[in-house]
């Protein structure tokens, strides 16, 4: 099994499930999201949103693939680009953080560590981009994650994703990450709530420095080429050059100059 992470872009947005591609509960205010869904324009609105975020900030997500097949994704963006987040009772998101809105692993690929793999990729990418912290709105309830880091559950949002309505009755987006999973991968509560706590993960500056150094070294080694040994004809030519006579009439040799 070969797994990889692919940045979300206009050319890769088609790799996320259609139900998620046509959901703009985070990208628009609740009333506008309902209108777009009713008019059948939600997918178009999602593409407009993604295009705008990419132009002003960069890629807004990552897609995880297994043997080149898309099996999951995670979306994130600056809080100013996510108006749907204002509906949460624990809003607003801290201005120095990027908001991780949602994520998903396809049912057939769960319990294989792909959820943790995807989260590690998101953390690594945002650290490399100089982001100070990641925040998310969690949903309380559901099964508790395993205590061992290597046994973390995969993102399982099939029961949380709204297929008929992009937002719930309380105007809160229905595709919310389980709070237990967030805590298991290192997030801590910054604003507790019985249903929608806001959690935060600090990104160490030393990790960002390390990522930049590793990238610089990789680029350096990629550009360095080791010259091959010269062919015999070139070696003979170089050797012949040592027999040229010096201005004082003596021949140049490799030994000491006789007295």
**For 53-82, how does the pLDDT look when each residue is reduced to its tens digit (9 = 90+)?**
999 999 999 999 999 999 999 999 999 999
The confidence score (pLDDT) of residue 84 equals 95
- Residue 18 pLDDT exceeds 70: yes
The confidence score (pLDDT) of residue 218 equals 46
State which H helix or E strand residue 40 sits in. none
The confidence score (pLDDT) of residue 204 equals 79
State which H helix or E strand residue 17 sits in. none
Query: What's the rounded Cα separation, in Å, for the pair 216 and 35?
Result: 47
**For 83-104, how does the pLDDT look when each residue is reduced to its tens digit (9 = 90+)?**
999 999 999 999 999 999 999 8
User: How many CA atoms lie within 13 Å of 120's alpha carbon, on the beta-carbon side?
Assistant: 10
User: How many CA atoms lie within 13 Å of 150's alpha carbon, on the beta-carbon side?
Assistant: 0
Question: Could you tell me the pTM of the whole model?
Answer: 0.72
The confidence score (pLDDT) of residue 46 equals 96
**For 121-174, how does the pLDDT look when each residue is reduced to its tens digit (9 = 90+)?**
999 999 999 999 999 999 997 544 443 333 344 444 433 333 344 555 578 898
* 114-128 helix and 205-223 helix, angle to the nearest 10 degrees: 80
Partner residues linked to 135 by β-bridges: 99, 200
The confidence score (pLDDT) of residue 221 equals 40
Higher pLDDT, 13 or 250: 13
Query: What's the rounded Cα separation, in Å, for the pair 100 and 96?
Result: 13
**For 172-208, how does the pLDDT look when each residue is reduced to its tens digit (9 = 90+)?**
898 899 999 899 889 999 999 999 999 999 997 544 4
In percent, the amount of the chain with pLDDT more than 90 equals 55
Alpha helix ranges (H) inside the chain: 18-21, 30-39, 42-56, 114-128, 179-184, 205-223, 232-241
The confidence score (pLDDT) of residue 142 equals 55
The confidence score (pLDDT) of residue 19 equals 87
The answer to whether 4 and 65 are in contact (CB under 8 A) is yes
Tell me the C-alpha to C-alpha distance, in Å, between residue 126 and each of 55, 121, 132. Answer: 17, 9, 8
Confidence of residue 110 (pLDDT cuts 50, 70, 90): confident
92 prior amide bond cis, ω within 30: yes
**For 1-11, how does the pLDDT look when each residue is reduced to its tens digit (9 = 90+)?**
899 999 999 99
The confidence score (pLDDT) of residue 165 equals 43
- Residue 12 pLDDT exceeds 70: yes
Partner residues linked to 108 by β-bridges: none
């Amino acid at each position: 099994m070969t797994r990889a992470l692919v940045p979300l872009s206009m050319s890769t947005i088609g790799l996320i499930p259609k139900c998620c591609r046509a959901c703009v509960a985070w990208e628009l205010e609740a009333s506008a999201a309902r209108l777009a869904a009713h008019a059948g324009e939600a997918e178009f609105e999602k593409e407009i949103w993604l295009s705008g975020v990419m132009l002003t900030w960069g890629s807004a997500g990552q897609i995880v693939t297994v043997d080149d097949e898309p099996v999951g994704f995670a979306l994130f963006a600056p809080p100013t680009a996510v108006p749907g987040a204002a509906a949460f009772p624990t809003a607003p998101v801290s201005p120095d953080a990027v908001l991780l809105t949602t994520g998903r692993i396809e049912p057939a690929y769960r319990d294989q560590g792909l959820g943790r793999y995807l989260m590690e990729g998101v953390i690594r990418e945002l650290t490399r981009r100089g982001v100070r912290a990641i925040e998310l709105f969690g949903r309380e309830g559901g099964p508790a994650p395993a205590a061992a880091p290597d046994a973390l559950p995969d993102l399982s949002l099939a029961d949380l994703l709204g297929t008929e309505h992009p937002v719930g009755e309380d105007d809160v987006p229905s595709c919310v990450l389980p709070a237990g999973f967030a805590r298991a991968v290192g997030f801590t509560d910054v604003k507790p709530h019985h249903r929608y706590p806001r959690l935060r993960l600090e990104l160490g500056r030393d990790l960002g420095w390390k990522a930049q150094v590793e990238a610089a070294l990789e680029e350096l080694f990629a550009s360095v080429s080791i010259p091959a040994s010269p062919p015999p004809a070139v070696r003979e030519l170089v050797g012949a050059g040592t027999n040229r006579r010096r201005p004082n009439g003596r021949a140049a040799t490799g030994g000491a100059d006789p007295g």
